[in-house]
Structure 1
Amino acid sequence: MTRLIHLFLVFSLLSVMAVGGGTAVLPEMQHMTVHTFHWLTDDQFRNIYSIGQVAPGPNMLMVLLIGYKLAGWAGMVVVGIGFFLPDCIITLFVNRWWVHLGGWPWRISIQRGLAPVAIGLMTSGTYAIARLSVVDVQTLGIALVVFGILLWRHVNPGVLVLVGGAAYLLLR
């Protein structure tokens, strides 16, 4: 029971910190689950993240896999509630307040000020996953090719993850 409460508290905190979306909290999620509480290894976190990218639906459903890995079905439910409910409640109230302030002159300034914060947080998340995933020359090459493809064309990231994984298996 103590572990379930701990999981709820950790993922509730992560939920509140997810200003720029789920990717924004990936570095902190990785730090807390791997280094602070030692619930997962770097490889396990990377694998769960990869499954979240390939699976249909929002990629942050990966938190459900973390909960399941740590405490079974109860862990999955507790982590899901802890990660998604606080953010939903906050979003509901802030959205109503934001609509109410429709004519407020500072509204545009706040939106423009939050955009770089969100971009920075997402970049930090991308860096954290890249640091876990790029472990040798082959993975660096695959990462650069995928990055180039994404800059050049809009391709489903799930397809690129599958093709990148297959390429890594063939190169290994």
Structure 2
Amino acid sequence: MSQIPALIRVFAYVSLLAVGGGMAAFPEMEYLSVDVHHWLTKAQLIHLYSIGQMAPGPNMMMIVAVGDWAAGAVGALAVLIAFFLPTALLTYAAGRGWKRLESWPWRDSIQRGLAPVSIGLLLAGCFTMAKGAIFGVETAAIAAGVLLILLQYKINPAVLVAASAVVGFISFR
């Protein structure tokens, strides 16, 4: 129960970093939940995120498992509310304000400036996850294969996650 305030603080903060999607928030989520609070290991967090990619709905629902791991069902509920409520309120307020600023000359510049920020946050998340998931020739080959397939074909990433799991099972058994 003593973990609840920390869970709320961490996931309310991390939710505000998810400008470019869940991967944008991944480096800070890893730092806070693995290195600072020790709620789970880096490998466990990467596994949860990977499963979140395959599950229907928003991939960041995996945060509920972190809350459950740290503080049971109450922790799961606290994390869920802390992660989605701040961004929902911020999005609502920004949407209303953005509509009013339609003729504002800075509006286009802000929109153009946010796109590279989102991409930078997304790339930081990708590199953070890669450092924890790629640990040898086999895992590097799986990652490179998935990247090449995604660049060449339009395919559901869940299929690639499942296929990678099969390849990993065969390679590491």
Match of 2:34 in 1: 34
2:105 maps to 1:99: no
Match of 1:113 in 2: 113
| Unaligned stretches of 5+ residues in structure 2 | none
Match of 1:16 in 2: 16
Task: Map 1:53-68 onto structure 2 (within 5 A).
Answer: 53-68=53-68
How far apart, in 1, do the equivalents of 2:149 and 2:21 lie? 23
2:71 maps to 1:82: no
Shift, 1:79, TM fit: 0.1
Moved more, 16-25 or 147-156: 16-25
How far apart, in 2, do the equivalents of 1:21 and 1:146 lie? 20
**How many residues are matched?**
172
How far apart, in 1, do the equivalents of 2:150 and 2:12 lie? 32
Give the 3-state SS of the residue equivalent to 2:3 in structure 1.
helix
Shift, 1:19, TM fit: 2.0
Give the 3-state SS of the residue equivalent to 1:19 in structure 2.
helix
Shift, 1:71, TM fit: 1.2
Match of 1:130 in 2: 130
Give the 3-state SS of the residue equivalent to 1:2 in structure 2.
coil
Amino acid at match of 1:82: A
Match of 1:151 in 2: 151
Amino acid at match of 2:155: V
How far apart, in 2, do the equivalents of 1:9 and 1:171 lie? 40
Match of 1:3 in 2: 3
Shift, 1:60, TM fit: 0.6
* Deviation by residue 1:2-37 (Cα, 9 ceiling, x = unmatched): 311111111111112222222111000001111111
Poorly superposed stretches of 4+, deviation over 2 Å: none
Match of 2:43 in 1: 43
Amino acid at match of 1:138: E
| Unaligned stretches of 5+ residues in structure 1 | none
How far apart, in 2, do the equivalents of 1:118 and 1:23 lie? 10
The normalised TM-score by structure 1 is: 0.97
Amino acid at match of 1:169: F
Amino acid at match of 2:73: W
The normalised TM-score by structure 2 is: 0.96
Moved more, 131-140 or 18-27: 18-27
Give the 3-state SS of the residue equivalent to 1:56 in structure 2.
coil
* Deviation by residue 1:113-133 (Cα, 9 ceiling, x = unmatched): 110000000000111111111
Q: Percent identity?
A: 45
How far apart, in 1, do the equivalents of 2:16 and 2:56 lie? 24
Q: CA RMSD in A?
A: 0.9
